[in-house]
Amino acid sequence: MTTASNEKKGRSRIWEEFADPERRTAYYMVLPSLLIIVIVAFFPILYGIVLSLTDSTAAAFGSFVGFENYVEMFQDPAFLEGLSNTVIFTVVSVTLEFILGLTIALAINRAFRGRGLVRAAILVPWAFPTVISAVMWRLMFQDRIGIIQYVASTIGIISEPILADRTLLLIAAILVDVWKTTPFMALLLLAGLQVIPNDVYEAARVDGANVYQRFFQITLPLLKGAILVAVLFRTLDSYRVYDLFYGMAQRELESLSTYVYEGVRISQLQFGPGNAAAVFIFVTSFLLALFFITVLGMRTSAEE
């Protein structure tokens, strides 16, 4: 009885919502965007999960095989290499970017001459297509004409060709990522710093707090929201690294995303495990975001 009447009440409330012409217009206005997002992003992920449980290929729908693709994926050395490269890449590059980005943000959080120049310098690497900056850096790492290879061999740190060694290639990729995204991290953190009112610092200084106390007890806690947003965005972004590895290493450096790509475009045999890896990336990204939101207490309210 109660559930039935609740249902009726719910339905009539929804009906009222749509009876109001202004509200109806509001829904019509968001509908096109929502529809295209649901059709092109949410539906395919469900379809992808179904596909990962079948022996389908890019050309033909197959029959149900349970978790066979996932078993095959975890037994594939290429996948495991991609997984370890991706995890190392994500942890190291996001950590470096965060430390450097915060240092830069703290340093430039003041009025000074030449702000415009600094802002332009921040934005230029950010605005570059990732795959093109990877190609540019690859040129500088080349063993015959690359300036970095030349300097490294002249000082004697590295004698072998950087691009021929997978470990060096991964380190190089991390450096390029740090170069490209640290400024952006600094920009996000700077925006967070600028909303901390100055009187909080003044009050703390009057109370005799030193620089470190001010940093750890005022800046960091008040900046937590901005830090979590910036770090989560960068973590999810690094975790799906594709353009950078593709441009730097021309498919010699495996990541989770390049593994998926190979299944779709390069090898029909790899389609099953490749698509399983796609679902794996989706689920783990989701868990990562969930961890930031629930455990670290990131605020996600989209409303004011």
User: Is position 116 an interface residue for other proteins (rule: CB under 8 A)?
Assistant: yes
Q: What is the CA radius of gyration of the chain?
A: 25
Residue choice 132, 200, 269, 296 for contact with other proteins (CB under 8 A): 132
Dihedral sign for Cα 50, 58, 278, 41, please: negative
Restricted to residues 171-190, the positions that interact with other proteins (CB under 8 A) are: 179, 183-184, 187-188, 190
Distance CA 36, CA 25 (A): 18
Angle ∠(115,121,122) on CA atoms, nearest 5 = 90
* Min dist. Cβ of residue 16 to other proteins (A): 10
* Min dist. Cβ of residue 287 to other proteins (A): 12
Compute how many other C-beta atoms are within 10 angstroms of the C-beta atom of residue 146.
19
- 285 burial via Cβ count (<10 Å: 0-12, 13-18, 19+): middle
Tokens of 57: 């290929």
User: Is position 203 an interface residue for other proteins (rule: CB under 8 A)?
Assistant: no
Distance CA 60, CA 229 (A): 41
Residue 1 or 237 having the CB closest to other proteins = 237
User: Is position 211 an interface residue for other proteins (rule: CB under 8 A)?
Assistant: no
* Min dist. Cβ of residue 131 to other proteins (A): 4
Residue 1 or 198 having the CB closest to other proteins = 198
User: Is position 135 an interface residue for other proteins (rule: CB under 8 A)?
Assistant: yes
- Interface map 280-299 toward other proteins (x if CB under 8 A): -xx--x---x---------x
User: Is position 104 an interface residue for other proteins (rule: CB under 8 A)?
Assistant: yes
Residue choice 15, 157, 211, 304 for contact with other proteins (CB under 8 A): 304
Q: Which amino acid is at 130?
A: T
The pair phi, psi for residue 129, each rounded to 5°, is: -60, 130
Distance CA 17, CA 251 (A): 53
User: Is position 70 an interface residue for other proteins (rule: CB under 8 A)?
Assistant: no
- H or E element, residue 30: helix 21-37
Residue 47 or 215 having the CB closest to other proteins = 47
User: Is position 87 an interface residue for other proteins (rule: CB under 8 A)?
Assistant: no
Residue choice 19, 71, 147, 296 for contact with other proteins (CB under 8 A): 147
Contact region with other proteins (CB under 8 A), list: 78-86, 157-165, 191-199, 207-215: 191-199
User: Is position 243 an interface residue for other proteins (rule: CB under 8 A)?
Assistant: yes
Comparing CA positions, the residue from 53, 70, 49 lying closest to residue 62 is 53
